Structure 1
Amino acid sequence: MTELLLKYFRTKQQEVQSEKVYETQCPFCSMQCKMQLIEQSIVSRKKYTTVGKDNPTSEGRLCIKGMNAHQHPFHQDRITTPLLKVNGEFVRISWQEALTHIKEQFTEIQAVDGLDALSVYGSASITNEEAYLLGKFARVALKTRYIDYNGRLCMSAAATAANQTFGLDRGLTNALTEVPFTRVIILAGTNIAECQPTIMPYFEKAKENGAYIIAIDPRETGTTQIADLHLKVKPGMDAALANGLLKVIIEENLLDEQFIEERATGFEEVREYVTSLSLDELSEMTGVPSEQIRVAAIKFASEESGMLFTARGVEQQIDGTAAVRNLLNILISTGKIGKPYSGYGAITGQGNGQGAREHGQKADQLPGYRLIENEEHRAYISSIWGVDKEELPRKGVSAFEMFKKIDDGEITGMFLMCSNPVVSNPNAHFVKAALKKLKFLVAVDMFISETAKLADLILPASSYLEDEGTMTNLEGRVTLREASRPCPGEVKHDWEIICEIAKVLGKEEYFPYKNAEDIFNELRLASRGGTADYYGITYERIRKEKGILWPCPELDHQGTTRLFEESFAHPDGKAKMIAVPNIPDVPKEKPSEEFPLYLTTGRVMSHYLTGVQTRKSAALAARNFESYLEIHPETAKKYNIDNNRLVSVASKRGKIVVRSKWSDKIRQDTVFVPFHWADSQNVNLLVGEELDPSCKMPGFKVSAVNVTPV
């Protein structure tokens, strides 16, 4: 028997012919968890195991998405060569053919329709180097003003609110390590339990340490379960709820008068407005009992330290910027910012949502969070790029507004990188119809997504296992994704694709990079002196220190753990408060006789964004293989909706069919549909195209719908 066992183990040992370990980071949420992929060759097959690796942010934790992330890069549907559409079908072509085709099409479009007829649509999932390069490519190689990115649909309201209030936008004003020691926390419109699961231990530890947690959400979620108080707000009423909290804080004399006097402007305007409001009317408007508003306000204001976190539930509204600013009014009025265990956190959604918005993909922006209309900023970046500042285009328009310009015929060509706007944008029917009008659409992707299907040419992108570069996580910590696995087939990195197109367009001298580190070193210079200053950060330092929090202006600077300790980033050093109306100037859609229910949207744990990658992972797709409608049982009975049945959900814009899911954890006037699915289950077909006037965020979180049985 012993000999048989020894023989068995010897055989098993021999079967493992080789083992390789790839260092990388999760490609999904903004926690950017460090991990290793272990590849074992076992006879005629390969076995993959993902393990978490210790790091300052997620401390070695992984969620279900990270553990199964490797399944999509190895999927059989992955694109590994350029594909050209010929007679409605994609055929393989060489890179030389692809580049020649791009040169011909881009040159002809700009010769006939003008420089601004070309547009660039970027991504918040690409590296800092690639985000920086994409902005440079648009403005130097293409000389077009039209560039924006999918982060416009994610972080723009919080980013704009932070810039307007503080003068600076970094996801978290404090490091996550401070969260466990704060005394009170407001989680507004954020479901971190499903969207950023590896962040949850920070909040669970805070609760263990006695912190009081207040959640604001129309639904009960995994996140609201840890709350001591859940304010089940009516969709779209966050700004009004913040006014109710402010009213109680002011009338109970719970202000930090000294902090307001020394560190803020505009408070008297806020005081005058909110004290004129009726708490009972605010309660009626928001759907939150007045006593709960009082408890939340008094608890938050009374504690010595406190933190506020917002996410898409508050931000993805046509008054998202104003709603966040009103919540920031609460922080400022109680003096809970720029101090230990007190501060603000905008929970970034996409993997590089923070870094991708700092270095030039936004329509009005240049690297280092500089502004493209600022003459001093233009001069500085022009000197780094070696171009005349008068040649730099002026600002363009937001992501969704670019599709309107396509529809109007002003834009006739698009270079699309790692995004799926046909599924992610509001009024999705319109976006799809607009893209079909383009003379030429180039899509860079790993798969033939719903948008890539419309492309004339698809270029194969590299995955998180292969594409080295820096990412900036939700804290503002710049990390380095090593990514050493060779690219499969003829796949190229995004930065290589950009450089090769620039070369055939005759702009090679401006894109001389040999690797990602070359690009980062130029980014460091371009960001120097800007709001988002990366100059003191190097690949060597990141490897040694496991990530650095910006701003980091010098090589001997340790990075900035806590912002605004002495002053804010406005010229006068003060935060700017404003009075925020309960109802925005552009009214939100309200339920009617024809469309009697509020619709709100969001995520599930097993999927990411439009699902292009996670729906290619068998382990993740199996957990949620179709979309669904969450509806309260009483509401379902009212509209004859049985549980677990196909239902039609319709708005003024369109209709989808999903499966019903009864839940007593949602408001009776509200239904919920996740946004990871396409085609007949694409919830963004139902969402209107009205935009936040400050940041151009669509109102994903508030639509009026009806629900009927199929």
Structure 2
Amino acid sequence: MDGADNRPHVHLFWLRILRSQKKKVIPSIFLRGAEMSEHVVKTTCKSCHGGCRVLVKVKSGKIVHIEGDPSSLTRGTMCPKGLASIKEVYNPSRLKYPLKRVGERGEGEWKRISWKEALDTIAEKMKEYIEEYGPSSILIGQGTGRGYNRYTFRFARSIGSPNVLLPAHFCYAPRLAAFGITVGGRLYCDYHGWGGEYPKTIVHWGKQLEYTNADGEMAVWFLRALEEAEHFILVDPKATPVAHRADLWLPVRPGTDAALALGMLNVIISEELYDKDFVEQWTHGFDRLRERVEEYSPDKVSRITWVPEDKIKLAAEWFATSRPGCIQIGQALEAGNNSIQTLRAIICLMAVTGNIERPGGMVNWVPPETGEMEEFALEVPPPEELPIGADRYKLLALPPFAMCHFESVCEDLLNGERRIKMMHLQGTNPVLAYANSKDVLKALLNVEFISVVDLYMSPTAKYADIVLPAAHWLETDDIYDMHPRFFVSAIVRAVEPVGEALPDNVIFNELGKRLAPKYWFSDVYEMLNYQLRKAGITWEEFKEIGVLARTGKEHYYKYKTNYWREGGGFPTPTGKIELYSTILENLNYDPLPHYREPNESPYSTPELSEKYPLILSTGGRVPYYFHSQYRQNPWLRELQPDPVALIHPETAEKYGIKDGDWIWIETPRGRIRQRARLFEAMNPRYVFAQASWYYPEKPDLGIFESNANVLTSNKPPFDPCIGSTTFRAMLCRIYRCDGGE
């Protein structure tokens, strides 16, 4: 964004107009001609994490067209997933009615039941297990969330269960934890220019923001800021689609990012390129950090990371001297055995260069008038027990959002007491999403009762006892918030749900009323009004305003004010950015960032590398799919019908593989098949496989045929602080599939 002039729709100006009118004004709906049945609804896309504002044309109760809203913060941009949403709403494969299993699990024999029977059954099962085994016997799970995390946590807290399941311990929770213990908040790249500066140096570190919007940033803002940047540094094992715009590419070996960050710190500190005033006044433990990074000379780091020494030095010098700068951190850095210390090393880079809380740097956003929407969950008292696994991986137990460790849950279900008796899984697909899929399925089969909420009969839903049909975001009224950032926006129902599908927030509210009514509401609109109360508006008013945002200079330099603490400072135990973490020290973890070799590598497991000579990374982004979603969508599936693995042409020649061949990718856990795509801009020793693939058109859904998590390990060592599993640095071998197809 260019500044405050572009934001008239984010103020309460519209509210004053609405309240002054004798007749209802609907600025989000534009009637076409005299045909009252044709109109356009302004709403918010939930096809990924972003929240792009969109215009939905509806004719005679049916969606006929979707496009971006050019008057919005996201400037009319949309990705293929959002544009193809019409094929999601009217997909013939969608679940339309509540179903109850009548055959054996996985046989696909179902009976249609009423919503009352379905919800009553789920609630009664929860009551039975809570009475006999306690609330910790119930696991409440969700997937990426897309802004309904607050409902999941509020529901779990309201029934007293500590066991909330998210894939967060290897996706976003390490960032929350690392930022929280180091700076006391959540830092995002300031691409907006509200403080008069854009970043001069932008770093993309294991991130493909150009393909999918992140938890706090949007591709459109990044691309706008890139036009103003002096330097763009790409840190990634392969060249991503924006590599042609990079001034410097650091092709880091998968899993060695902590060493690279520590090597850059070595250069910045030894050459005294750091911000001396900021470090002296606002950081804790700099001398100890200086001593730690002496171990990571550029020469040593080059040998670890396979990045040339001169590139390491140049990246460090640019980031330290061409300021302000920001670092866009990707999920790839969290999916390994050293996620917390990797992230802390990168945050230390931000801190010693003075790039925190300044315009064009890394900023903890001030929320809009609503306050942080997550408070909706936190106002319910937390459970009395610890989540499963949080006694070992102690950052999982830290407030505000404690969660269980799924690999520990599976281990218990397979070899332990089977403490989890029931799972309620809403918008999540554990059979595809978690490490060692075959073990995950075996573990789920040991759960006595499972209820699943989804749009489709997913690989996980197939093994449930009750399946509930979820409404699409185009059929939902809700408040969109993806972790505390500077705006919230309205998700406005464009059409009625197909069949008897219900929105996620309605389902949580209906179950909540049956189990803990004092924390829930008469209907979803009372619940939405309650969440908007701090802004002094109702849901009906908010959906006409569309967006509430703060887009000014108040975001910056909050540590110089009383924003966090009297007299200034950061919300950490020392009041400063903790390069040396007192929280980690008190938990008996290393208080300083350090490097840890991946569990499987040519160096940590040389004997294994003789049989599996290639380094495998899974989970790279594509523009058409989001985790396991959209394989049913005909428009998107046409763009990419099969799973794709990237291999180097030299590697392909060595193994007799041609572009487009089906190949086997094998690790000690198993093998899968994907189509080879030859790609030169990567090391010949690497293989990049796509994750979460299955085949909805097949009777068995092809759960284990091409799913990369057949290859990943659910065995320790995990990250010692938060339990992250490894998805981006394993060993594998490849060979052609016999007989082609």
Q: How does 1:496-511 map to 2 (within 5 A)?
A: 496-505=506-515, 507-511=516-520
SS at match of 1:696: coil
Q: Give secondary structure in 2 for the equivalent of 1:681.
A: coil
How far did 1:264 drift? 0.5
8 Å CA contact 2:175, 2:343 repeated in 1: yes
- For residue 73 of structure 1, the aligned residue among 75, 89, 93 is 89
Q: CA deviation at 1:75?
A: 0.5
- Identify if the C-alpha distance between structure 1 residues 394 and 260 changes in structure 2 by more than 3 Å, giving closer, same or farther: closer
Q: Which amino acid aligns with 1:30?
A: H
SS at match of 2:475: coil
SS at match of 2:496: coil
- CA distance, structure 1, for counterparts of residue 78 and residue 151 of structure 2: 30
Residue in 2 that maps onto 1:320: 339
Q: Does 1:94 align with 2:110?
A: no
Contact kept in structure 2, 1:174 and 1:344, CA below 8 Å: no
Q: Which residue of 1 aligns with 2:328?
A: 309
Counterpart-to-counterpart distance in 2, 1:60 and 1:189 = 26
Cα distance in 2 for partners of 1:225, 1:345 equals 30
Flag the 1:670–1:16 CA change in 2: closer, same or farther, 3 A: farther
Q: Any conservation in 1 of the 2:191–2:221 contact (CA below 8 Å)?
A: no
CA separation of 1:20/1:119 partners in 2, compared to 1, >3 Å: closer, same or farther? same
Maintained 8 Å contact 2:341/2:595 = no
TM-score, normalised relative to structure 1: 0.83
The answer on whether the counterparts of 1:173 and 1:345 sit within 8 Å (CA) in structure 2 is no
Q: Displacement, 1:498?
A: 2.3
Cα distance between partner residues in 1 of 2:346 and 2:316: 11
**Where does residue 703 of structure 1 map in the other structure?**
730
2:515 equivalent to 1:490: no
Tell me which residue corresponds to 2:260. 241
Matches for 1:648-687 after TM superposition, within 5 Å: 648-678=664-694, 679=703, 680-687=705-712
The equivalent position to 2:452 in structure 1, one of 419, 437, 443, is 443
Q: Which amino acid aligns with 2:512?
A: A
Following the alignment from structure 1 to structure 2, what is the Cα–Cα distance between the partners of residues 523 and 417?
21
* 1:150-209 deviation per Cα after TM superposition (whole angstroms, max 9, x unaligned): 344421111111111111125456757679822111110001122239944444444433
SS at match of 2:489: strand
Q: Are the structure 2 counterparts of residues 393 and 314 from structure 1 closer, same or farther at C-alpha, using a change threshold of 3 Å?
A: closer
Deviations along 1:491-531, whole A, 9 cap, x unmatched? 222222223333444x3343223224x33455578xxxxxx
Residue aligning to 1:519: 527
Whether 1:36 and 2:55 are equivalent positions in the alignment is yes
* Residue number in structure 2 paired with 1:108: 128
User: How much does 1:452 deviate?
Assistant: 0.4
CA offsets 1:450-491 (integer angstroms, 9 cap, x no match)? 100010100111110121111224745222212242222222
Question: Does the aligned pair in 2 maintain the 1:52–1:60 contact within 8 Å?
Answer: yes
* Residue number in structure 2 paired with 1:547: 548
C-alpha deviation, 1:46, in angstroms? 5.9
CA gap 1:204/1:512 in 2 versus in 1, 3 angstroms: closer
- Relative to structure 1, is the Cα distance of residues 313 and 55 closer, same or farther in structure 2, using a 3 angstrom cutoff? farther
| SS of equivalent to 1:442 | strand
How large is the RMSD of aligned CA atoms in angstroms?
A: 3.4
Find 1:598's aligned residue among 599, 615, 620.
615
How far apart are the structure 2 equivalents of 1:177 and 1:671? Answer: 41
Q: Measure the CA separation in 1 of the matches of 2:670 and 2:385.
A: 41
- Is the 2:489–2:546 Cα contact (8 Å) retained in structure 1? no
Note closer, same or farther for the CA distance 1:254–1:473 as it changes in structure 2 (3 Å cut): same
Distance 2:554 2:408 in 1: 36
Q: Does 1:184 align with 2:201?
A: yes
Shift of 1:446: 1.1
1:3-402 correspondence to structure 2 within 5 Å? 18-40=37-59, 48-54=64-70, 57-88=73-104, 89-128=109-148, 131-141=149-159, 143-169=160-186, 171-172=188-189, 175=192, 181-196=198-213, 199-343=218-362, 360=377, 366=378, 397-402=404-409
Say whether the 8 Å CA contact 1:627–1:658 is kept in structure 2.
Answer: yes
Per the TM alignment, residue 52 of structure 1 is displaced from its structure 2 partner at its CA by 0.9
Cα distance, 1:424–1:569 mapped onto 2, change above 3 Å: same
Structure 1 residues 207 and 87: CA distance shift in structure 2, 3 A: closer
Secondary structure in 1 matching 2:623: coil
CA gap 1:595/1:686 in 2 versus in 1, 3 angstroms: same
1:343-397, Cα deviation, whole Å (9 max, x unpaired): 2699xxxxxxx9897764xxxxx459x976899xxxxxxxxxxxxxxxx999662
CA distance in 1, matches of 2:227, 2:458: 44
Q: Identify if the C-alpha distance between structure 1 residues 359 and 481 changes in structure 2 by more than 3 Å, giving closer, same or farther.
A: same
Q: Which residue of 2 aligns with 1:403?
A: 410
Share of identical aligned residues, percent?
26
Given that residues 34 and 52 in structure 1 are in contact (C-alpha distance below 8 angstroms), is that contact kept between their aligned partners in structure 2? yes
Q: Decide whether the 8 Å contact of 2:194 with 2:553 is kept in 1.
A: no
Distance in 2 (alpha carbons) for counterparts of 1:191 and 1:132: 26
Cα distance in 2 between the residues matched to 1:242 and 1:178: 28
Q: 1:24 Cα shift?
A: 2.0
- Distance of 1:16 and 1:189 partners within structure 2: 50
Residues in 2 aligned to 1:545 and 1:97: alpha-carbon distance in whole angstroms = 36
Question: Is the alpha carbon distance of 1:87 and 1:201 closer, same or farther for their aligned partners in structure 2, counting shifts above 3 Å?
Answer: closer
Q: Please report how far the alpha carbon of residue 535 of structure 1 lies from its aligned counterpart in structure 2 after TM superposition.
A: 7.1
Aligned 8 A contact 2:46 2:146 in 1 = no
1:541 CA drift (Å): 6.3
Question: Secondary structure in 2 aligned to 1:593?
Answer: helix
The amino acid across from 1:52 in the alignment is: G
- Tell me how many residue pairs correspond in the alignment: 645
The SS at the match of 1:187 is strand
What letter corresponds to residue 238 of structure 1 in structure 2?
D
Q: Is the 8 A contact 2:41 2:494 kept in 1?
A: yes
Distance 1:371 1:510 in 2: 13
Structure 2 CA distance for partners of 1:168 and 1:657, relative to 1, 3 Å: same
In the alignment, which residue of structure 2 is the partner of 1:693? 720
Q: Look up the equivalent residue of 2:670 and give its one-letter code.
A: G
Whether the 8 Å contact between 1:249 and 1:301 is mirrored in structure 2 is yes
CA distance, structure 1, for counterparts of residue 179 and residue 543 of structure 2:
26
Gap change, CA 1:603 and 1:285, over 3 Å in 2: closer
Deviates more, 1:163-172 or 1:232-241: 163-172
> What SS is found at the alignment partner of 2:359?
coil
Offset of 1:661 from its aligned partner?
0.9
What's 1:470 paired with? 479
Letter of the structure 2 residue corresponding to residue 701 of structure 1:
R
Please list every run of 5 or more consecutive structure 1 residues that lacks an aligned counterpart in the other structure: 1-12, 347-353, 361-365, 376-391, 526-533, 551-557
Is the CA contact (8 Å cut-off) linking 1:175 and 1:561 kept in structure 2?
A: no
Q: Deviations over 1:249-292 (max 9, x none)?
A: 11221011110010100111111121233321110110100000
Report if the CA contact (8 A) 1:22-1:465 is conserved.
no
1:284-321 C-alpha deviation (Å, 9 max, x unpaired): 11010000011111111111311111011222222122
Q: 1:495 to 1:394 in 2, by over 3 A?
A: closer
Q: Report the secondary structure of 1:181's partner residue.
A: coil
Cα 1:394–1:599, aligned 2, differ >3 Å: closer, same or farther? closer
- What code does the residue aligned with 2:246 have? A
Cα distance, 1:139–1:281 mapped onto 2, change above 3 Å? same
Pick from 410, 419, 422: which aligns with 2:428? 419
Distance 1:400 1:536, change over 3 A: farther
**Paired residue type of 1:568:** F
CA distance change for structure 1 residues 358 and 280 in 2, over 3 Å: closer, same or farther? farther
SS in 2 for 1:547: strand
**Whole-angstrom distance in 1 between the partners of 2:211 and 2:400:** 41
